[in-house]
A = this chain, B = another copy of it.
């Protein structure tokens, strides 16, 4: 579990000022991986009721730009954030309940960037989203 001190250090390391909203946002994202902006806002306000939604959005963007958090947005859902960055992992999304879980890159880093230069595009990242059913929804469907 990240302590506030660790969070502050992480912010300073990327050259960001340490402010209450930012610390709270980063802590919230760390504690609730794959949370959307609304959830982050709610969680942040639990410990810091006065923050504006604007500050939360701004913090999320700033942190995402700095590479401290990552923003993902599967089809049909609002933006979600997570603190696990830089390790090329992907996501499984439940078609039924929208639950998201992390999946380590299964086919190796090389394969993830295959298809480079198709159509002349210069590709620098491959994002993989697996779609299916989470254990709970899967069980609910097979035993109605």
Q: Are A73 and B71 in contact (CB under 8 A)?
A: no
Q: Say which residue of B76, B121, B132 sits within 8 Å of A101 (CB atoms).
A: B121
Q: What residue in chain B is nearest A142 (Cβ atoms)?
A: B122
Q: Are A122 and B130 in contact (CB under 8 A)?
A: no
Copies, count: 2
Q: What residue in chain B is nearest A115 (Cβ atoms)?
A: B106
Q: Are A127 and B128 in contact (CB under 8 A)?
A: yes
Cβ contacts under 8 Å, A138 to chain B? 120-122
Q: Is A74 an interface residue (CB 8 A)?
A: yes
Q: What residue in chain B is nearest A126 (Cβ atoms)?
A: B130
Cβ contacts under 8 Å, A133 to chain B? 121-122, 124
Residues from 79 to 135 in A contacting B, C-beta threshold 8 Å: 79, 90, 92, 94, 101-104, 106-107, 111, 113-115, 118-135
